[in-house]
Amino acid sequence: MSTDPAAQPRRLAFLATNTGWGGSEELWSAAAAVLAGDGHSVTILKANIDFGEPRIARLRELGCRFVDLRALPFVPARGLAWAVKHLWVLSYAVKALRLWWGLRGARPDLVILSQGHNSDGLFLGKRMQRFGLPYAMIMQKATELYWPYDDSVADLRDLYDGAKACWFVSEHNRRLTEEQLGMALDRASVVRNPFLVPWRREEGWPDDRNGIRLACVGRLFPAEKGQDLVLRVLARDKWRARPVSVTFFGSGKHEHALRRTAVHLGLESVDFAGFAREPAAIWSDHHGLLLPSRAEGLPLVLVEAMLCGRVPIVTDVAGASEVVTDSVNGFLASAPTEDRVDEAMERAWARRAEWRSIGDRAAADIRRLVPSDPARVMADLILEQAGALPAWAEPGRRAA
């Protein structure tokens, strides 16, 4: 650690709203690992902590303190889980009590509230505010599909207004949140999620002599991820006749329904490969990404596919158009509908002989838009807000 008083160890707390693990957990957890590795005191407050998750295990190795918001000392975990599942009032009471206990023990200089959606941290955020602690917020998604209810807008406005910084993963998400709240967020800026593929690109192109292989990567949740659109498009006669296949990577509560839909439509060109812990392995034998999302932030898988030089075919949702230039380094479907996805796939198919060069362009472009170490950038921004670093600005990043 530096001997500069402005860079002395800080006490930091990460309050994550998601109860599971997904792409929205990568940014806060990676930044927390950097900060803990640098000698700062880090406390993690999250419900349903899974110590078998590799990111959590790494944070544990680094000496981070954990507070499970759905666990109580001396209370059997199974019994408590049943109670909070069936008694929603008890669930909220346990979370509030554990949050109070965790923050009281951590006494952080700064709390980082990480939200999967731009409003799902309201309950925890309002209780966090009562401690009078400085806090900043990370927002991983905002969508036109979900608007805050009228009776919560005032509290949400107050939560955002009190934050030292509001970090969004796309400019679209920042702008939409301002519209939904009806207020300007003067301390907002755009940050990038860490990616799980190497920054240094390995050259090479999968063998395409037997057809084009597309990967659709994401939680199996059609309402937001749009996997149903892919199945309907592939059921059209022209796609049945073409050497194109799609592999679905991911898990979720709708896996069996999607499998049944594929069988019902008589599709032989799709496969369900489950959750992939090594994203780079996906791109070793797939030529492009097919992502028909209805709601996103800036998809981590989109950045990873482009870094690996693969062709993205994605819906123009959230931050996609901030990194994909249509027909230049990928293909944008103008809306998350069956016809628009089909139209984008058709344009991509017509230029399939150029896919390798389009992928090369994607790889070069994304490296100009995303820093090589987003976790370090995020950690430095956090320390800046905690008073440990002087203000700085990376080229291409909006100042907070």
**Confidence band for 95, pLDDT divided at 50, 70 and 90:** confident
* Residue 266 pLDDT class (50, 70, 90 cuts): very high
Q: What beta strand segments (E) does 155-231 contain?
A: 166-168, 188-190, 212-217
User: Per-residue pLDDT averaged across 156-182, rounded?
Assistant: 96
| Tokens of residue 138, six digits | 């990370």
pLDDT at 48: 85
23 has pLDDT over 90: no
Question: Residue 293: which residues within 8 A CB-CB, separation 6 or more?
Answer: 218, 224, 225, 226, 299, 314, 315, 317, 318, 320, 336
The H-or-E segment that residue 68 falls in is strand 65-68
pLDDT, mean of residues 10-38: 92
Residue 33 near residue 6, CB atoms below 8 Å: no
Residue among 28, 30, 117 at smallest CA distance from 296: 117
Strands 212-217 and 135-139: unpaired
Give the separation between CA 233 and CA 342, rounded to whole angstroms. Answer: 6
Question: Higher-confidence residue: 86 or 72?
Answer: 72
Query: What is the residue type of 241?
Result: A
Burial code (b: 16+ CB inside 10 Å, e: under 16) for 316-329 equals bbbbbbebbebeeb
Side-chain-facing half-sphere of 252: CA atoms under 13 Å: 20
Residues contacting residue 396 through CB under 8 Å, at least 6 positions apart: 368, 369
Is the pLDDT confidence value at 346 over 90?
yes
What's the pTM? Answer: 0.86
Which tokens sit at 20? 């599971």
Angle between helices 54-61 and 26-37 (to 10 degrees): 20
Q: How far is CA 216 from CA 19, 130, 262, 272, in A?
A: 24, 43, 14, 10
- Which residues partner with 272 through β-bridges? 248
State the pLDDT confidence band at 74, using cuts at 50, 70 and 90.
low
Using DSSP, state whether 350 is helix, strand or coil: helix
When pLDDT is averaged across residues 342-351 and rounded to a whole number, the result is: 98
Give the confidence band of 400 by pLDDT, cuts at 50, 70, 90. Answer: very low
Rounded to 5°, the CA angle 223-215-55 comes to 80
Burial of 228 (0-12, 13-18, 19+ CB in 10 A): middle
